[in-house]
Chains A and B, each alone.
Chain A
Amino acid sequence: EAQVTQNPRYLITVTGKKLTVTCSQNMNHEYMSWYRQDPGLGLRQIYYSMNVEVTDKGDVPEGYKVSRKEKRNFPLILESPSPNQTSLYFCASRLSGTGRGTQYFGPGTRLLVL
């Protein structure tokens, strides 16, 4: 089954404790990205990757890091989480190019930073 998986699905942590949210896709997609969802703001892109070892900042990259060492994986790293990073996080992937190219979303990770 074609899917994007994220782990963990729920996470409560404390300010400053480094954490990683994993993302993996099994569709051989080149393009992967991370979004955060906050009330009244919709989803905003944090980082994206066009292929292995190619990553770039989205609209709200501050406080986040990513890496793309393998095509299927795109982890999101919070080196020193703060309460303003409490949010719902989505990983997404798609084939590159124009057209319909449906973007597949993971199930989401709910993060609470105390």
Chain B
Amino acid sequence: AQKITQTQPGMFVQEKEAVTLDCTYDTSDQSYGLFWYKQPSSGEMIFLIYQGSYDEQNATEGRYSLNFQKARKSANLVISASQLGDSAMYFCAMREDNAGGTSYGKLTFGQGTILTVHP
């Protein structure tokens, strides 16, 4: 079964509007972390935002916020006031922490969503 699912292969948004990129996950671990990365056409992986499974508040980083709904196992990325430079591939990823509380750091990635921002 897919551990991370991004159901939107592509999304379009008008400049200055907000957009939500969907991500659902599957894990039986109680402790885990959820990440979003941006990959522009140049190819590098840029870390955007992190949400820990025990964090009570939704994470925010500037124009990025993570809508974390633990019971629904969803971790949607919200980008406010879209800019042309936001056009890129976006990946949702999960790191599962074992019962002992250690983490080997492996990230499991979704398939990605290509976001296109129109002027």
A interface residues with partner B (beta carbon < 8 Å): 31, 33, 35, 40-45, 48, 50, 58, 88, 90, 92, 94, 96-103, 105, 107-108, 110
Complex contact A43–B91 (CB within 8 A): yes
Contact partner of B33 (CB less than 8 A), chosen from A88, A96, A100, is A100
Interface residue SS majority, chain B = loop
Interface size class of chain B, counting residues whose CB lies under 8 Å from the partner chain: 20 to 34
Complex contact B102–A103 (CB within 8 A): no
Complex contact B43–A108 (CB within 8 A): yes
Which A residues touch B44, using CB under 8 A? 105, 107-108
Instruction: Closest B residue to A94 by CB, please name it.
Output: B105
Complex contact A110–B91 (CB within 8 A): no
B interface residues with partner A (beta carbon < 8 Å): 4, 31, 33, 35, 37, 43-45, 47, 50, 52, 91, 93, 95, 97, 101-112
Contact partner of A88 (CB less than 8 A), chosen from B43, B50, B91, B105, is B43
Instruction: Closest B residue to A102 by CB, please name it.
Output: B47
Instruction: Closest A residue to B105 by CB, please name it.
Output: A31
Contact partner of A43 (CB less than 8 A), chosen from B52, B103, B109, is B109
A44-B93 Cα distance, complex, nearest whole Å: 11
A31-B106 Cα distance, complex, nearest whole Å: 9
Instruction: Pick 15 A–B contacts, CB within 8 A, sort by A.
Output: A35-B109, A42-B112, A45-B108, A48-B105, A48-B106, A50-B104, A92-B107, A98-B31, A98-B97, A98-B102, A99-B33, A100-B50, A102-B47, A103-B47, A103-B105
